[in-house]
Amino acid sequence: MKLNKLGESGLRVSEICLGTMTWGEQNSERDAQLQLDFARDHGINFIDTAEMYPVPPSARTYARTETYLGAWLPRQKRDQLIVASKVAGPGRRDWVRGGRTELTRENISGALNDSLRRLRTDYLDLYQIHWPGRNVPMFGVTRFDPGKEAQAIPVLEQIETMAGLIKAGKIRHYGLSNETTWGLCEFARVARAHGLPSPLTIQNAYSLLNRMFDGELAEASFREKVPLLAYSPLAMGMLSGKYAGGAMPPRARLALFADFGERYKRELARTAAEEYGRLAQSRGLSPVEMALAFVRTRWFVASTIVGATDLAQLKQNIDSVKVELDAETLSGIDAIHQRYPNPSA
């Protein structure tokens, strides 16, 4: 497994990162242990989780994923692993930390301490703000609405908090997630202005069906030297081929959770996914191989986060690193993208 330099840090992470958001809902603790062992044995050193996981989130399962990972982590050589987690932002779920989700110094620090306890580790290599604490369009919403403006915790306070946690040895670096171009640039600007650490990474959705990062965010990534950790590279399974022809396998995420992943169920998203599937087949590839190999070709991607509900899926995801896309395949991808630009964005 190839290792990539993570931003401006000395960390080197596997080009595939093990995602964990199904653990505790679709996957048992035993499943999680098997996935972790398999990933480790196949060269993955990077594991991403969050206090909010599993997804879809619920009060019943809140933070269960970190607990599952925490049962495995103490048995490993900790210094050989890169472990990332996230602090949930405000809104969305009032049962997270008793509703104390504003990104204040106290709440971020408290959330981290809870995560460290569940993960049974003394530090995190990367601690990410799961989504912004200010008014932003996200999770399939594309229009900014000034009418939703509300008071938010200043960016400086959030950075100062992360800097304090770094100084205390509780985290090595911090990152952003589901962030906008303005947000990435503002965090970097404020950090520089005050002599504080800048964000190391940005974790946003990126796939053949969602290439919003290609534009302004890619420029910001380049100029601020903040690489992307690409999540949902298979567009919640839509690019795996299992939904082709309108199929809805009963154990698939979009079948189990009817109100989840609406952006990937749009008609244009389905149509584009099927065209990508046909292109993959014509090039002698599986849809999974082509979709994941494409994300790896992007210069701004430091690691691709994959998730699986069984070992067969995980093996297929990991094996995709053996695939290199040729010019004709990339040209075919571009042609489809021109017809269906970001149909799930």
**Cis amide bond preceding 56, omega within 30:** yes
Catalytic residue among 53, 68, 243, 276: 53
Distances (CA, A) of 72 to 19, 146, 247, 287, 307: 15, 45, 36, 32, 17
Burial readout 18-39 (b: 16 or more C-beta within 10 A, e: otherwise): bbbbbbbbbbebebbbebbebb
* Alpha-carbon dihedral angle through residues 325, 291, 211, 8, given to the nearest 10 degrees: -70
Q: Which H or E element spans position 41?
A: helix 29-41
Pairwise CA distance, residues 15 & 208, whole Å: 18
Pairwise CA distance, residues 38 & 19, whole Å: 13
CA angle 213-323-293, nearest 5°?
10
How is residue 271 written in tokens?
Answer: 């149509």
C-beta of residue 277 within 8 angstroms of C-beta of residue 286: no
Pairwise CA distance, residues 126 & 166, whole Å: 10
53 is an active site residue: yes
Residue positions annotated with a catalytic role? 53
